[in-house]
């Protein structure tokens, strides 16, 4: 068994070069007064102790299941397979947590991407909608806590979440959402007005909001590394710096080919690489548009963070281009927002996010940013994730289309894939029954389509500002 340590969260950040490779157009920026580096570590990597680096694949081998991608979905799937004695190998083209799983906002919210309780009740019968909602809410949150307790892992897990309304009319949509959750048997929310919300967020920017005691926040890279740690403790094998270039089905298994070796999967393959999986999918149906997101972390603030967020709840709001933020280590504020078809520069992003911070919290007179980074995610037309299972003799699984939401749900779906493979539950089959539209030339046209769609939605928001549409 590999000797691997648990992820350790530091008291504060250590400015350093990232151990990941820069991927595509994504970038990390660090305030140059702390460090000048070609590819610095982002806040999450900087707030964790240096961790294990796995070797690249150098030869041919075989196992029961190959998992492509070591993010939250791949790590969770592999862990739950390994716990059942399934011989599993993970192939990762970069480093653990180098993509969206280690670059997101760290907020835990219920739902299936942009599908919440109301959408589930609309598309399914009562019992099926109730099952799906609890799968993506109570079960997803509980699973993270169970993994943390079972393996003694610290994820900086905190409970409580706020959706803040930027328009009085948005409270109608939030109320309808809370009502749908109660209808499906989950009652952790309450609607508050402007004055009561002021007890949680010291900002005049909002008209009220929804307090959700089921949601919360987490250190996503600590979670990702923790899942990999647990996987290795169960005998799992991880190869980093090993990009999959082809998947070929044969009579005796599925051959997963890389530049340095081939892994024969005797029983199944799981493609846990989200938006990057398209080129490997046997089914070429394009159901997602890729887009870029942006996150920053401030230097320690001049005001105590409790003067901004007294209960330390993470927040996202209801404006079309949402702001989301939460308190993190050493009186810092993590603040993110926007979604674009083409990747912004660090300078443009830095200016945009600083302006948003000052807009929400004008009492912050001097805000210095220590970290800014971009991320890549993908969205579907109907707002739910696209979950697929195909292959005749050997099942192949794939899930993508997260729309920037779903840290906890990704972990829960990983468990569902493992359970489906073993034949223990029909949870994953439930997800595959959600139909998705084909988007012609989706990956090519995203830089054009997304700005057009945003402009159209923006005009609609101007004409009907009380209608809640978040991107």
**With helix as H, strand as E and coil as C, how does the chain read?**
CCCCCCCCECCCCCCCECCCCCCCCCCEEECCCCCCCCCECCHHHHCECCCCCCCCCCCCEEEEEEEECCCHHHHHHHHHHHHCCCCEEEECCCCCCCCHHHCCCCEECCCECCECHHHHHHHCCHHHHHHHHHHHCHHHHHHHHHHHHHHCCCCCCEEEEEEEECCCCHHHHHHHHHHHHHHCCCCCEEEEEHHHHCCCCCCCCCCEEEEEEEEEECCHHHHHHHHHHHHHHCCCEEECCCCEEEEEEECCEEEEEECCCEEEEEEEEEECCHHHHHHHCCCCCCCEEEEEEEEEEECCCCCCHHHCCCCCCCEEECCCCCEEEEEECCCEEEEEEEEECCCCCHHHHHHHHHHHHHHHCCCCCCCCEEEEEEEEEEEECCCCCEEEEECCCCCEEEEECCCCCCHHHHHHHHHHHHHHHHCCCCHHHHHHCCCCCCCCCHHHHHHHHHHHHHHHHHHHHHHCCCCCCCC
pLDDT for position 119: 95
The per-residue pLDDT for range 45-93, each reduced to its tens digit, is 999 999 999 999 999 999 999 999 999 999 999 999 999 999 999 999 9
| Statement: residue 276 has pLDDT above 60 | no
Distance CA 108, CA 143 (A): 12
| Statement: residue 335 has pLDDT above 70 | yes
pLDDT for position 321: 87
The per-residue pLDDT for range 248-271, each reduced to its tens digit, is 999 999 999 999 999 999 999 999
What average pLDDT score do residues 233-239 get?
98
Please tell me the pTM assigned to this model.
0.95
> Higher model confidence: residue 382 or residue 327?
327
**Banded pLDDT at 378 (limits 50, 70, 90):** confident
Residues 99 and 71: beta-carbon distance below 8 Å? yes
What average pLDDT score do residues 155-173 get?
97
What average pLDDT score do residues 372-395 get?
91
Among candidate residues 227, 230, 271, 229, the one with its CA nearest the CA of residue 247? 271
| Statement: residue 282 has pLDDT above 70 | no
| Statement: residue 301 has pLDDT above 90 | yes
**Banded pLDDT at 377 (limits 50, 70, 90):** confident
Q: Mean pLDDT score of the chain, rounded to an integer?
A: 92
Distance CA 173, CA 381 (A): 20
What average pLDDT score do residues 154-163 get?
98
pLDDT for position 341: 86
What average pLDDT score do residues 416-438 get?
95
pLDDT for position 384: 94
Q: Which residues lie closer than 8 Å to 338 by C-beta, 6 or more apart?
A: 293, 294, 321, 344, 349, 352
C-alpha distances (whole Å) from 449 to each of 88, 401, 413, 436, 445 are 39, 16, 29, 18, 6
pLDDT for position 471: 45
**Banded pLDDT at 275 (limits 50, 70, 90):** low
Among candidate residues 156, 276, 167, 176, the one with its CA nearest the CA of residue 224? 156
> Higher model confidence: residue 402 or residue 102?
102
Distance CA 327, CA 325 (A): 7
The per-residue pLDDT for range 3-12, each reduced to its tens digit, is 899 999 999 9
| Statement: residue 305 has pLDDT above 60 | yes
What average pLDDT score do residues 368-383 get?
92
The per-residue pLDDT for range 348-364, each reduced to its tens digit, is 999 999 999 999 999 99
């Amino acid at each position: 068994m590999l000797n691997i340590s648990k992820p350790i969260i530091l008291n504060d950040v250590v400015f350093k070069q990232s151990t990941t490779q820069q991927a595509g157009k994504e970038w990390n920026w660090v305030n140059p007064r702390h460090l000048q580096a070609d590819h610095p570590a982002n806040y999450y990597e900087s707030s964790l102790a240096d961790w294990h680096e796995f070797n690249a694949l150098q030869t041919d081998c075989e196992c029961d299941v190959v998992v492509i991608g070591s993010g939250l979905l791949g790590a969770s799937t592999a862990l739950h397979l390994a716990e059942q004695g399934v011989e599993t190998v993970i192939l990762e083209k970069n480093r653990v947590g180098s993509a969206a799983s280690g670059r997101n906002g760290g907020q835990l919210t219920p739902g299936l991407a942009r599908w919440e309780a109301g959408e589930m009740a609309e598309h399914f019968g009562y019992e099926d909608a109730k099952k799906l909602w609890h799968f993506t809410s109570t079960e997803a949150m509980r699973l993270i806590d169970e993994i943390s307790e079972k393996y003694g892992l610290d994820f900086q897990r905190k409970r409580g979440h706020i959706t803040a309304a930027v328009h009085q009319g948005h409270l109608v949509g939030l109320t309808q959402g809370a009502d749908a959750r109660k209808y499906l048997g989950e009652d952790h929310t309450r609607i508050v007005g402007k004055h009561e919300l002021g007890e949680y967020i010291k900002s005049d920017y909002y008209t009220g909001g929804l307090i959700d005691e089921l949601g919360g926040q987490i250190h996503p890279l600590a979670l990702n590394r923790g899942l990999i740690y647990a996987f290795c403790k169960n005998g799992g094998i991880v190869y980093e710096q090993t990009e999959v270039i082809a998947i070929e089905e044969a009579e005796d298994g599925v051959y997963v080919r890389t530049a340095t070796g081939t892994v024969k999967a005797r029983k199944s393959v799981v493609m846990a690489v989200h938006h990057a999986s398209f080129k490997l999918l046997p089914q070429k149906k394009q159901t997602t548009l890729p887009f870029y997101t942006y996150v920053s972390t401030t230097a320690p603030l001049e005001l105590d963070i409790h003067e901004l967020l007294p209960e330390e709840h993470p927040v996202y709001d209801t404006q079309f281009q949402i702001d989301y933020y939460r308190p993190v280590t050493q009186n810092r504020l993590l603040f993110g927002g926007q979604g674009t078809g083409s990747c912004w520069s660090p300078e443009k992003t830095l200016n945009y996010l600083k302006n948003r911070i000052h807009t929400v919290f004008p009492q912050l007179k001097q805000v210095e940013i220590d970290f800014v980074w971009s991320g890549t995610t993908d969205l579907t037309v109907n707002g739910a994730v696209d979950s697929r299972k195909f292959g005749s003799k050997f099942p192949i699984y794939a899930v993508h289309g997260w729309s920037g939401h779903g840290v906890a749900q990704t972990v829960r779906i990983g468990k569902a894939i493992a359970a489906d493979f073993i034949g223990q539950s029909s949870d994953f089959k439930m997800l595959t029954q959600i139909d998705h539209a084909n988007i012609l030339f989706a990956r090519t046209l995203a830089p054009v389509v997304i700005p057009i769609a945003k402009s159209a939605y923006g005009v609609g928001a101007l004409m009907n500002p009380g209608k809640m549409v978040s991107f």
